Chains A and B, each alone.
Chain A
Amino acid sequence: MADVLLSAQKVSKRFGGIVASDVIDLDVEAGTLHAIIGPNGAGKTTLVAQLSGELRLDSGEISFAGRDMTRLAMHERAQAGLVRSFQITSVVPQLTACENVALAVQAHDGHSFRCWKPARSDASLRDPALACLNEVGLAAKADRLVGSLAHGEKRALEIAMVLATRPKMLLLDEPMAGMGPEDSARLVALLAKLKQRFTILLIEHDMDAVFALADRITVLVYGRVMLTGSPGDVRTDPKVREAYLGEGAGS
């Protein structure tokens, strides 16, 4: 068995009366693409927020690459290589696509107190930024203000920004949210490429995409893990079919 890169143990979170995460155990093996599926409100985004450090745990522990992360802040976990994307696009619309990605490069290379050299013409930022934009198919839009990009392009930018931080592991929260079928297909192809290089935790509603990409799948319902297994296990599990996939789905 491969090493476990990210491990969550007995992670819980309550919002008032709602138990968004109910004693969740999750192990993601290095080099795999692990998908989390579940109906709306199952607690998938909440789990990502806890893993990435944006939300404190009510209880439980999180370790990453052999390090206890439970008490680390979001930026510290990102610097350790655990970097998330957002279900609701979170970029800087007032800057260009290239500037957005260059900031992510800057976050990784750690010289952000430099206040003399112009950043926009700095090749050590711009070149890797353009490479990441190219990887997600946005190279032609590098110098466009992000506010003027189409929805699918902003979703691609989300991923480019994560890649530019040179992460060890990607936490992707519904990267295909709101995309048309063409953009989705392109993104599936991109994720298939990225899974060769990165460990990925993928939250996704699109079942075809999940079954095409995932090595392992965890089904989350009402904040609880219903099942973790191979795509085959999940596809054939009667409880899952009933609770989430619905009759006849998953083919």
Chain B
Amino acid sequence: MDRTKVLAMLTVLGLALVPVAAWAFDEPFWIDLFARVAIFAIAALSLDLILGFAGLVSFGHAIYMGLGAYTVGILSYHGITAGLVHFPAAIVVSALAALMIGAISLRTSGVFFIMITLAFGQMGYFLAISINAYGGDDGLSINRQSDFGSLLRLDDLHVFYYLVIVILAALLWLGFRLVNSRFGLLLQAIRFNERRMNALGFPTFRYKLAAFVISGAVCGLAGALLANLTLFVSPSLMHWFRSGELLVMVIAGGMATLVGPVLGAIIYLMLEHVLAGLTVHWPAVLGAILLLIVLFGKQGLAGILLARKKVKEAKPHG
């Protein structure tokens, strides 16, 4: 098995042991912190599919997280509590939004693509602020977690935590399958030489759009999970700053590695937590540390941890 997958398994295993450590050190808050970490890891993972593999710098990815979260919030507000409605609805809403946003923004590239996705993200943010029925600027509280009956009680933090970890693990596994499949290889080839893929007969737009929609849908799922963790949704979920954070997680963690963004989410949120307790200047310190990570390894944290991989790649394989 290749080293990236081993690293992914170790990372998931580490996350799965957090509740044990929280109990051993009597720090129950850790579970809450790492549930958040794992949810952002899912969002960053979804961004890696289009950023790392397809080379699409989406600067508005937080909108899908926001849409997923708001779907849960708004359904709950109207008295619909069934998890089997919440989660599929969150995924469908964010997939549809990604379809619409992708259909427009993928007609551009480079800086224009970044600006258009940013603009759509901000549109989501301002839309959420302006709808007073759902709390507007103040956000919207959710009464209770999505209802899956007595089988899966999301109000039990341990149950919820392991649900998130299982989803993260499953998505990593699906992700590894996808990026090595026909579709995945084509995405990577499009990233490196779209013109040639076009000349070979690929309608490249369609494939990029499909990746964009998958990515948005998975990010929407992360949003639905986040709403269940915090029981609160607010426009700030969709602010461009959030989209920037997701980009930083992917880039610092290691693009096009799948496990990298998970590590990126862990590092980013842990540093934020620790540094925020130490100094009010934490964003500057955090920025400096992330800069160092990126400077030291081109492939971010995953690149540093998998440093030996380069040597292996240079040799022919088959």
- Tell me the A residues contacting B by CB distance below 8 Å: 52, 54, 73-76, 78-79, 83-84, 86, 90-96, 98-100, 102-104, 106-108, 111-120, 122, 125, 142-145, 148, 161, 165
CB nearest to B179 among chain A residues: A115
| Chain B residues, Cβ within 8 Å of A106 | 182, 185-186
Determine the distance from Cα of A232 to Cα of B310 in the docked complex, in whole angstroms: 55
Given known contacts A54-B199, A74-B198, A91-B196, is B181 in contact with A116 (CB within 8 Å)? yes
B318-A142 in contact (CB<8A): yes
Beyond known contacts A52-B199, A103-B200: 13 more, CB 8 A cutoff: A74-B198, A78-B198, A78-B200, A84-B199, A92-B189, A92-B196, A94-B188, A103-B185, A117-B181, A119-B181, A122-B182, A143-B316, A161-B196
B183-A113 in contact (CB<8A): yes
Determine the distance from Cα of A161 to Cα of B201 in the docked complex, in whole angstroms: 11
Shortest distance in angstroms between B254's beta carbon and chain A's nearest beta carbon?
16
Q: Determine if B178 is an interface residue (Cβ-Cβ < 8 Å).
A: yes
| Chain B residues, Cβ within 8 Å of A92 | 188-189, 192-193, 196
Q: Determine if B184 is an interface residue (Cβ-Cβ < 8 Å).
A: yes
Which of A90, A94, A108 contacts B195 (CB under 8 A)?
A90
Q: Which 10 A-B pairs have the closest CB atoms?
A: A78-B201, A143-B318, A107-B200, A115-B183, A107-B201, A115-B181, A79-B201, A119-B182, A90-B196, A115-B178
Which of B111-119, B202-210, B239-247 is near enough to bind chain A?
B202-210
Determine the distance from Cα of A38 to Cα of B188 in the docked complex, in whole angstroms: 37
B200-A94 in contact (CB<8A): no
| Chain A residues, Cβ within 8 Å of B199 | 52, 54, 74-75, 78, 83-84, 86, 90
Q: Determine if B317 is an interface residue (Cβ-Cβ < 8 Å).
A: yes
Q: Count B interface residues, CB 8 Å.
A: 30
B202-A112 in contact (CB<8A): yes
Determine the distance from Cα of A28 to Cα of B125 in the docked complex, in whole angstroms: 57
A143-B317 in contact (CB<8A): yes
Shortest distance in angstroms between A132's beta carbon and chain B's nearest beta carbon?
12
- Central interface residue in B185, B313, B317, by most chain A CB within 10 Å: B185
B185-A161 in contact (CB<8A): no
A119-B184 in contact (CB<8A): yes
Shortest distance in angstroms between A250's beta carbon and chain B's nearest beta carbon?
32
| Chain A residues, Cβ within 8 Å of B203 | 73, 75-76
Q: Determine if B153 is an interface residue (Cβ-Cβ < 8 Å).
A: no
Shortest distance in angstroms between B43's beta carbon and chain A's nearest beta carbon?
20
Determine the distance from Cα of A79 to Cα of B197 in the docked complex, in whole angstroms: 12
- Tell me the B residues contacting A by CB distance below 8 Å: 177-178, 180-186, 188-189, 192-193, 195-204, 207, 210, 313-314, 316-318
Which of A73, A83, A103, A117 contacts B189 (CB under 8 A)?
A103
| Chain B residues, Cβ within 8 Å of A95 | 185, 188-189, 192
| Chain A residues, Cβ within 8 Å of B193 | 90-92
Shortest distance in angstroms between A141's beta carbon and chain B's nearest beta carbon?
9
The 13 sampled A-B contact pairs (Cβ below 8 Å) are A75-B203, A79-B201, A91-B193, A92-B196, A102-B185, A103-B189, A103-B197, A112-B186, A112-B202, A113-B210, A115-B182, A118-B177, A119-B181
Which of B180, B183, B189 contacts A120 (CB under 8 A)?
B180
B178-A144 in contact (CB<8A): no
| Chain B residues, Cβ within 8 Å of A75 | 198-204
| Chain A residues, Cβ within 8 Å of B195 | 54, 90
Shortest distance in angstroms between B3's beta carbon and chain A's nearest beta carbon?
17
A114-B188 in contact (CB<8A): no
- Central interface residue in A86, A119, A143, by most chain B CB within 10 Å: A119
| Chain B residues, Cβ within 8 Å of A100 | 189
A118-B192 in contact (CB<8A): no
Determine the distance from Cα of A5 to Cα of B40 in the docked complex, in whole angstroms: 56
| Chain B residues, Cβ within 8 Å of A116 | 177-178, 181
Determine the distance from Cα of A52 to Cα of B186 in the docked complex, in whole angstroms: 21
| Chain A residues, Cβ within 8 Å of B314 | 145, 148
| Chain A residues, Cβ within 8 Å of B177 | 115-116, 118
Determine the distance from Cα of A98 to Cα of B199 in the docked complex, in whole angstroms: 18
B192-A119 in contact (CB<8A): no
CB nearest to A98 among chain B residues: B318
CB nearest to A103 among chain B residues: B189
| Chain A residues, Cβ within 8 Å of B200 | 75, 78, 83, 103-104, 107, 161, 165
A99-B181 in contact (CB<8A): no
| Chain A residues, Cβ within 8 Å of B183 | 112-115
A103-B192 in contact (CB<8A): no
Which of B182, B196, B198, B313 contacts A112 (CB under 8 A)?
B182
| Chain A residues, Cβ within 8 Å of B197 | 103, 107
CB nearest to B185 among chain A residues: A119
Determine the distance from Cα of A102 to Cα of B185 in the docked complex, in whole angstroms: 10
Determine the distance from Cα of A112 to Cα of B210 in the docked complex, in whole angstroms: 11
Determine the distance from Cα of A93 to Cα of B196 in the docked complex, in whole angstroms: 12
A111-B182 in contact (CB<8A): yes
| Chain A residues, Cβ within 8 Å of B192 | 92-95
